[in-house]
Structure 1
């Protein structure tokens, strides 16, 4: 398989993830799935997303034959590894500010079993890392993706994964504007999306 063919097929695999993820996260689909799955919707949604990503990873390893080092990125491995370490550290710290049970969907299931109601949507967070960027999880994701990009497979993953995060953030912000209105619009005007170029913006 030529590099062009491998990149084209891998791009289609990522496109399939973006389309599927956006469809499942859409308001109409979400309402239907919640009616069908009840409190298990978020958990099943995350399981489907994880399995889809795993399939894309396996497909990428096959199309790129495991991955080959790419110059000059392979010569920058030390710097890139440091970038990835910073990204993983940031990801762990950011995740600690979230309600992981709500995010994963396990809190909804536990609440249902206890006879309690539980909202899927997390309250708007504008503190912690969110005073620097609107999407700290995605910012950490960029560092992790590009910190591993010294093979053709990892470079393609960084490219298509980053594109997915940028486009996905637009869909997410549209949903947040519907939920929080002018409060979120004002937050967007004051705080950058991914790069904390304003420093402490709030």
Structure 2
């Protein structure tokens, strides 16, 4: 296993995590992206997408020549189930977001970041971070090579750490409503015995 290549890929993910978390708190009035005014959310999404593409491309360049794993057929089937589950959860999660604020078009039209109420409908009643759960299921389902496993590991760590940073901001924004939501709703894995 090329340890140096894996270390470089880990550093690339670290750069994404730091950059994404620092920019995530920016609004039209504060943070690194405030100079873009109402376009700050579009810029945030664009910078994040470009940075992520560079990190993944760098990891692929470092590790793509390594042979894929020869896994038992049952593991491949289990991974395929994970991919399908992840896609389903991801689609359910996206239905709970309004595209304008999520992508940044509402902010471009002058609507403030703080105008969005806390939404705990749909799949958000079961888990707080359904898009993270969906992404982890898909990435672990695709973990069939050293590149795939490394990507799944670093993404999972990023989601765990990044969700805590994100939730600190959400607690400041929504106060007791978010504290209650956080206390009663799991982060990534739904509680099967919970009736919500």
Report what 1:114 is aligned to: none
Give the Cα separation in 2 of the matches to 1:159 and 1:73.
21
SS state at 1:19 partner: helix
Give the Cα separation in 2 of the matches to 1:5 and 1:129.
40
Q: Does 1:119 align with 2:116?
A: no
Give the Cα separation in 1 of the matches to 2:72 and 2:43.
37
SS state at 1:48 partner: helix
> Post-superposition shift, 1:71?
4.8
Give the Cα separation in 2 of the matches to 1:105 and 1:189.
29
- Superposition RMSD in Å: 2.1
> Post-superposition shift, 1:78?
2.0
Q: Does 1:157 align with 2:151?
A: yes
Gaps of 5+ in 2: none
Aligned partner (choices 141, 146, 160) of residue 140 of structure 2: 146
SS state at 1:193 partner: coil
> Post-superposition shift, 1:139?
1.2
Report what 1:103 is aligned to: 102
Q: What do residues 171-197 of structure 1 show as CA deviations (whole Å, max 9, x unaligned)? A: 111001101111111111111111102
* TM-score (norm. length: structure 1): 0.88
Give the Cα separation in 1 of the matches to 2:179 and 2:195.
14
- Answer whether contact 1:129 1:136 (CA < 8 A) is retained: yes
